[in-house]
Amino acid sequence: MEKLFLSSLFSLLLFVHSVSAYTTYNVISFGANPDGRTDSTQPFRNAWSSACASTSPAIIYVPSGRYLLGHIVFHGGCRNSDVRIIIQGTLVAPYNYREFSNISNWLAFQNVNGVSIYGGTLDGQGSSLWYCKSTGNSCPTGARSLVFRDSRNILINGVTSISSQKFHFVLDNAQNVTMQGVVISAPGNSPNTDGIHVEKSTNVRIVNSGIRTGDDCISVGPGTRNLWIENIACGPGHGISIGSLGWSLNESGVKNVTVKNVTMTGTTNGLRIKSWARPSNGFARGIVFENVRMENVRNPIIIDQNYCSSSATSCPHKASSITVSQVTYRGIRGTSATPTAVKINCSVAKPCTGIRLEDITLTYQNQIAKSFCAHAHGIAAGLIKPSSLAIHISDYVVALMLHIIVKCSRVSALYFKDKF
């Protein structure tokens, strides 16, 4: 304990020393009011403009209190590449969701370089919009709480986001981003409140964070490369999803994604890859899911290439041409909330290839769970429960079983090959 205290004190001293050369801009001095009722939108804009215009590294300081903010876009083109936003208070969105009727983002950073956000809470006050949606009335889509677009060298450290109207955090065409110590909270029945959405972004790390929400804890969209996700507690929510992919014919692929040391608790899905059943030249490859603990998860492992969202007015019924390949599941353990814990439902037009299962143990009500597989091939290694996993290769059938406990519910395809 003493060593931990000394280490934390040393880190704090280093931080204080490192910011001593920074010019500090306190939002209070620009007229921001921490009473939670007075609109502080313009003072925050002015603080950003001053920090961005500074030729030396800058700090925007937000003291304790609640700051009511409307829609803001923090534009880049700054004269320095090190702006730190240190938040001790809470930023609050308007309670009246119709103020964002034609706005997709609450707070957005556009074309910035070298922005860091430390601490604080973002309160999207989304409950009234969620209620509106639950009634079936005509409601706005909702605003995403914090978006970085066309930006690079970003750090989000120790930020809490609660009750977002829609997605909590979005990285869109961002490079070299670290998110750590993030806490996200929304009820399990809050619609479209994805925790973190990443698309068209490269070299992103999401670590040491807890996400409780009503949609995907983390969703990965087209064009994402080199994404590292580690030490995440997810649930409630819809798990960690790659996709949905394949809505557009010409779509950038997803590759080199690692998800490890994750706990899923009470989520509707665990580790999911999903694509629409329609033509597309996109792909998902080089995906690793490792050391994941499932606790009462409805679909612990799922590849769904016939995806259709519940909100879609009509579903495509063509074959998905998204290429899913080189996907590894290693050390996936725990309990399923449904009898079928593994669902690998790949495209008849583009079967999944290079699916690798290693050391999988999933149970349902203290029994080994079932699996469903179609149009996939790969390798099973180590202890696999459920271990009879069907795959589709060519037009002949071979059954090579390893640790067979329960047969796959679909046998119109090949079983995974034992590597031994």
Per DSSP (E only), the strands in 346-397 are 352-364, 367-368, 370-374, 376-385, 390-391
Report residue 363 as tokens. 């149970």
Report how far residue 292's alpha carbon sits from residue 265's, in angstroms, rounded to the nearest whole number.
11
Angstrom CA distances, 164 to 25, 74, 95, 128, stand at 27, 19, 11, 11
pTM: predicted TM-score of the whole model, two decimal places: 0.90
Digit-coded pLDDT (tens) for 14-46:
455 455 689 999 999 999 999 999 999 999 999
Torsion of CA 309, 317, 391, 384, to 10 degrees: 10
Three-state DSSP at 232 gives strand
Report how far residue 139's alpha carbon sits from residue 141's, in angstroms, rounded to the nearest whole number.
6
Confidence band for 386, pLDDT divided at 50, 70 and 90: confident
Domains of the chain: 33-215 (2.160.20.10), 229-308+317-394+401-411 (2.160.20.10)
Going by DSSP bridges, is the β-strand pair 352-364/367-368 parallel, antiparallel, or unpaired? Answer: antiparallel
Q: Is it the case that residue 313 has pLDDT exceeding 90?
A: no
Active site residue 168: no
Q: Looking at residues 72-95, what average pLDDT do you find? A: 98
Confidence band for 286, pLDDT divided at 50, 70 and 90: very high
Digit-coded pLDDT (tens) for 294-303:
999 999 999 9
Report residue 29 as tokens. 């001095």
Mean pLDDT of the chain: 88
Digit-coded pLDDT (tens) for 46-75:
999 999 999 999 999 999 999 999 999 999
- Name the least confident of 141-155, 196-210, 341-355, 372-386: 372-386
Residue 209's nearest CA partner among 173, 179, 181, 176 is: 181
Active-site choice (168, 238, 377, 392):
238
Report how far residue 72's alpha carbon sits from residue 89's, in angstroms, rounded to the nearest whole number.
18
Confidence band for 312, pLDDT divided at 50, 70 and 90: low
- Name the least confident of 32-41, 108-117, 244-253, 405-414: 405-414
Digit-coded pLDDT (tens) for 108-122:
999 999 999 999 999
CA angle 11/217/387 to nearest 5° reads 110
Asked if 123 and 91 count as a contact pair (C-beta separation under 8 A), the reply is yes
Three-state DSSP at 277 gives coil
